[in-house]
Amino acid sequence: MQQIVNFLFKNSITLLFLLLLGISLSFTIQSHAYHRSRTITSANAVTGYVYGQINKVEMYFSLSEENQKLASENALLKNMLFNKKDTVLATVPPSLGIYKVIPGKVIANSYSLQENYLTINKGTADGVKEDMGVVSSLGVIGYIEKTSKGYSTIISVLNKKFRLGAKIKKNNHFGTLTWNGKSTGFAQLVDVPRLATVVKGDTIVTGAESTIFPENIPIGTIEKVYIDKKTNYYTLDIRLFNDMTSLGYIYIMENKDREEIQQLQQATVPPNE
């Protein structure tokens, strides 16, 4: 017994180090495991408050830019209001009825890592829940990962864990939107079938099978076309409409029918063994 105590006492610093290292390594491994698995996020009161204060100051530097964006969006909405017959406007999905929109603001943004997250100033108190889609006036940004009372974190399009069903607007061919971690201006649409006709400059929008985003939310345009040698599918470089390095006001999309759809799908498909 005495020897055990002596041993613990003599090596207390090493043991403390191993304990702390173990904790931080487990946090790290956990954060890389799968999405919504992290414990250490900026969706908490302290970091949210600090980022909110910093953002208040920063906002003054981009006031005119933000005003410009809001004004052009207002013009678009007014345009639709006054020309109600014109129903082919691309930016408004026809299925908007089942979606509730919550406005919010990005208070912290990262884009230099392999796994990037945003922090916004809306949380559970405003009705934000996990797995809600987030868009700006230009297009898709990401979806909610974690929420606290007043703040939430978003998995950005620029995150290697991000997956989203998307399609080519012209001919409805589906693919999966991912990011290869290289450039902040481009994402990749993978697994596009070879029989699809892909033309440089075509618009990519969100697909219909997603319960997170409404259909036909713009994402970007085709910039480059590759053929994946292993799978014989197309891989497309997509130039994003959003400048992910400067984001301001955003909209959170709540699908009111999401639970119903998921329950139905679970009831239909037997769980995989």
Partner 1 sequence: MNSTVIINILRFILLLAIQVAVLNRLDLFGFLNPYPYILYILLYPVNGNKALLLVSAFFMGLFIDMFLNTGGPHAAASVTLAFLRPTFFKFSFGVSYEYQTIKINDRLSPERFSFILISVITHHLILFLLEVFRFNLILTALLHTLYTTLFTLVICIITIYLVKPAKT
Total of residues contacting partner 1 (CB under 8 A): 40
Please provide residue 27's backbone torsions phi and psi, each rounded to the nearest 5 degrees: -60, -45
Handedness of CA 86, 90, 96, 100 (dihedral sign): negative
Residue 90 binds to partner 1 (criterion: CB under 8 A): no
41 counts as binding partner 1 under rule CB under 8 A: yes
Residues counted in the chain: 273
Q: What is the Cα gyration radius of the chain?
A: 22
From residue 3 to residue 22, the character string flagging contacts with partner 1 as x (rule: CB under 8 A) and all else as - is ---------xxx-xx--xx-
Non-local (6+) Cβ contacts of 226 within 8 A are 234, 235, 236, 237
Helices then strands, counting H and E runs in the chain, come out as: 5, 12
Nearer to partner 1, 43 or 217 (CB): 43
Among 99, 107, 119, 158, binds partner 1 (CB under 8 A): 119
Does residue 42 interact with partner 1 by CB under 8 A? yes
Q: Which stretch binds partner 1 (CB under 8 A): 94-102, 110-118, 171-179, 206-214?
A: 110-118
- Closest residue by Cα to residue 258 from 129, 149, 124, 113: 129
**75 part of the interface to partner 1, by CB under 8 A:** no
The answer to whether residue 143 forms part of the interface with partner 1 (CB under 8 A) is no
**CA angle, residues 82, 101, 73, in degrees to nearest 5:** 40
Binding site for partner 1 (CB under 8 A): 12-14, 16-17, 20-21, 23-28, 30-32, 38, 40-42, 44, 46-47, 50-51, 54, 108, 110-117, 119, 153, 181, 184, 245
